[in-house]
Amino acid sequence: MASTQRPIAEAALNEASGAPAWKSTPSWFIYGDRDLNIPPAALSFMANRANSKETVVVNGASHVVMVSHADAVAKLIDRAATAP
């Protein structure tokens, strides 16, 4: 990720984003309880606010849960893809 991730652009912090997609699109949420970039309490708040169809908290996972626990992420994606 370090070789492909670009620095954030100023516009990303200053431009209006429009209506949040989570208000009209079903959401699923997965995060690690040891995320040091975004506090897990904030992630829990966001999942609840988005009325997440399913929230998975991966014990011991960091901010890059998709790398360290790819199996859990893939399973959640499968469940979301086949949800009614």
The angle subtended at Cα 33 by Cα 82 and Cα 79, nearest 5°, is: 5
**Predicted TM-score of the model (pTM):** 0.82
pLDDT tens string 33-51: 999 999 999 999 999 999 9
pLDDT for 11: 84
Cα separations (Å) of 47 from 8, 19, 80? 24, 17, 15
Q: Supply the mean pLDDT for the chain.
A: 94
